[in-house]
Chains A and B, each alone.
Chain A
């Protein structure tokens, strides 16, 4: 099963064995250098941005008491519910040459017009605003585990808050922040929606163009394999960096070491609130304004289909992913240190490093090859059965999001200590009873949390859905992308709002679970 999940990776790597396509020479000479250049700029810019914003915000909400802290701590998670390409089209719609912000700047202030798509700053800013929660989430959990008395010791030794931050808190939180950063970089590398809306060339857009414009699945697979290489490099460091870092917080104390009074407190509140406004509240408001104006003309019976296909795909993917992840996480508890099992798990969770586009190309290419072998032996092509089938798309989702579900379940499986197994067995429990009455109930919070995160991700997923969706199975994400790609932002706001609404509800449930589990610990 794990092998099957990792199949697209092998397929993509295998593409190098094939004779060089002449298209590859064209890509290599004309496009590759600029692709590498623009991708590196993007990664560096986004990396610096999310690290700064994520750790500073996390430190402020955990260590400092300021006005509005309590609700802002949770509100800062909400941008997770907004797909990156939705934030991108909102910002494009507002700040584009014909967007009202720029029109106002030109007409009222007399400033010269500018092209938001030129250069890298606007796209980097968009990515930072949409991906900072990854670093924020990991760093926050890490700051929470730091004992208050350690910081108090620092204070008593005469260190200023800034010095305590740089000398004590930050070094301790570094592995967690690094893990968040690496996830961000992988997501940036995998993104298709934002870069194509900004007309920004990266590996992902090149893969899409090789397959979509030139119909060369070989070149697409070869480009994809380069991306896989970078992703492996990142995932290796992520594993190293994460170590003991957790997505969950086990709250040690609610006492804040620092109290920000008066003007300083309000300044901090203003800063944190500003981030929340830019990353969630203002885009939401803009979506509401656009959606309100367009809903009468845009809303039609088609939306029932869009919502139902999104819901069916999301639910099926979540159920399958959770089942496989649970099956993988449970024996890992019982038979620790089995190298065989470790490799199976490693294989099954590799998909997270794979951008959705690579996943799709790998699958299409793999099936194409199977057909070729089949025809060679006198059989028939299976392309028409598998291409554009729901099974293939679900397979891509499961393979892509397995790691999220697995790590969430694994984190809660860590509380199943060997003594629980031993004592249940001594009380006469069969293996089935052990699993049903001890293991499953103990990991239920992890299963639920993993399911919610996977659901949000599947709902937002664009590239794999775009390439693999069966005919008539357009999702809300596809609708948002197609409308916004044509600049129909008002109309795109309608499906985007539906998605953000569902996503926010799921994120709120996740937070309630997180709060609950940190209380019980």
Chain B
């Protein structure tokens, strides 16, 4: 059912101060596919995500996104801001001095004001938060902040969305509901995504396919 290959990661290795945690990591994702990456703390799963985003460098590994070579042999050819990769962080990283509308519009300010407003409305409708444009992050609940962060990451229509333990700061009940909502949104927008988590049930429910990092290697499931 997936035809176009969107993301290719080749031979990614990560080490922390001479301690090898990840070796020969390979991954291929089709357009619109959702992948979950499981592993214990310190297994290198978050570092792998940061490398794909172009935030951290390492000594080996290549990233090809939508046919374009972004990183080669551990070095980034394209900086994070020009990769077309979006990310939702564990603690959301919403800018505290901007309201919801400004936060979401941050990545699309090359568009006209009118276009920005329409896009913000569209995204808030998508994440089921209509009418909170003027609120500030500290006025929102954890789940609401999470959905605003998702809307912000989706606003520039990224080719790849990365979710770094994005549900882990919520309680169990909200986590399951939100994971399902986010999955629906990603499917609706046909966005390719990787979720990093240490919760297997969450990985199974959220993804089309998942893998576990064990003994420095990625073991794929499903």
Contacts and interface: CB of A to CB of B under 8 A. Distances in A.
A425 B81 contact: yes
B107 A427 contact: yes
A419 B91 contact: yes
B156 interface: yes
B143 interface: no
B106 A424 contact: yes
A426 B93 CA distance: 12
Nearest to A443: B97
Interface string A439-457: 0011000000000000000
Interface in B79-124: 79-83, 85-87, 89, 91, 93, 95-98, 106-107
Contact of B89 (A422, A429, A437, A438): A422
B69 interface: no
A53 B210 CA distance: 64
B50 to A, nearest CB: 8
A480 B89 CA distance: 57
Contacts of A415: 96
B138 interface: yes
Contact of A427 (B55, B91, B97, B106): B106
Nearest to B86: A426
B57 to A, nearest CB: 14
Contacts of B87: 422-423, 426
Given A422-B80, A426-B53, A427-B152, A438 B95 contact: yes
Given A422-B55, A424-B106, A520-B138, A430 B97 contact: no
Interface in A362-399: none
A10 interface: no
B152 A419 contact: no
Given A422-B55, A423-B87, A428 B93 contact: no
A417 interface: yes
Given A427-B156, A428-B107, A442 B96 contact: yes
B81 A429 contact: yes
A104 interface: no
Nearest to B162: A426
A423 B93 contact: yes
Interface string A410-425: 0000010101101111
Nearest to A431: B81
B82 A428 contact: yes
B108 to A, nearest CB: 8
B101 to A, nearest CB: 14
Contacts of A441: 97-98
A415 B152 CA distance: 21
Interface residues of A, number: 18
Contacts of A427: 81, 86, 106-107, 152-153, 155-156
Contacts of A438: 95
A520 B53 CA distance: 32
Nearest to A424: B106
Contacts of B91: 419
B81 A428 contact: yes
A428 B85 CA distance: 9
Interface string A493-521: 00000000000000000000000000010
Contacts of A428: 81-82, 107, 156
Nearest to B152: A427
A273 B83 CA distance: 62
Contacts of A425: 55, 79-81
B106 A442 contact: no
Contacts of A520: 96, 138
B106 A426 contact: no
Contacts of B89: 419, 422-423
A420 B156 contact: no
A429 B53 CA distance: 14
A13 to B, nearest CB: 40
Contacts of A419: 89, 91, 93
Contact of A422 (B93, B96, B138, B152): B93
Nearest to A445: B97
Contacts of B138: 520
A423 B138 CA distance: 18
A318 to B, nearest CB: 23
B148 to A, nearest CB: 12
Q: With a 10 A CB-CB cut-off, give which of A420, A422, A423 has the most chain B CB atoms.
A: A423
Contacts of B83: 426
A425 B156 CA distance: 12
Q: With a 10 A CB-CB cut-off, give which of A420, A426, A520 has the most chain B CB atoms.
A: A426
A437 B106 contact: yes
A442 B93 CA distance: 13
Interface in B54-83: 55, 79-83
A109 B90 CA distance: 74
Contacts of B55: 422, 425-426
A438 B93 CA distance: 12
Contacts of B156: 427-428
Contacts of B86: 426-427
A416 B98 CA distance: 14
A520 to B, nearest CB: 7
A420 B93 contact: yes
Given A437-B106, A520-B138, A426 B97 contact: no
A430 B93 contact: no
Given A422-B89, A423-B89, 14 more contacts: A420-B93, A420-B95, A422-B53, A422-B55, A422-B87, A422-B93, A424-B95, A425-B55, A426-B86, A427-B81, A427-B107, A427-B152, A427-B155, A442-B96
28 contacts: A419-B93, A420-B95, A422-B53, A422-B55, A422-B80, A422-B89, A422-B93, A423-B87, A423-B89, A423-B93, A423-B152, A423-B153, A425-B55, A425-B80, A426-B55, A426-B81, A426-B85, A426-B153, A427-B152, A427-B153, A428-B107, A428-B156, A429-B106, A437-B106, A441-B98, A442-B95, A442-B97, A520-B96
Instruction: Report, nearest first, the 8 A-B pairs whose CB atoms are least far apart.
Output: A427-B107, A419-B93, A425-B80, A423-B93, A441-B97, A428-B81, A425-B81, A419-B89
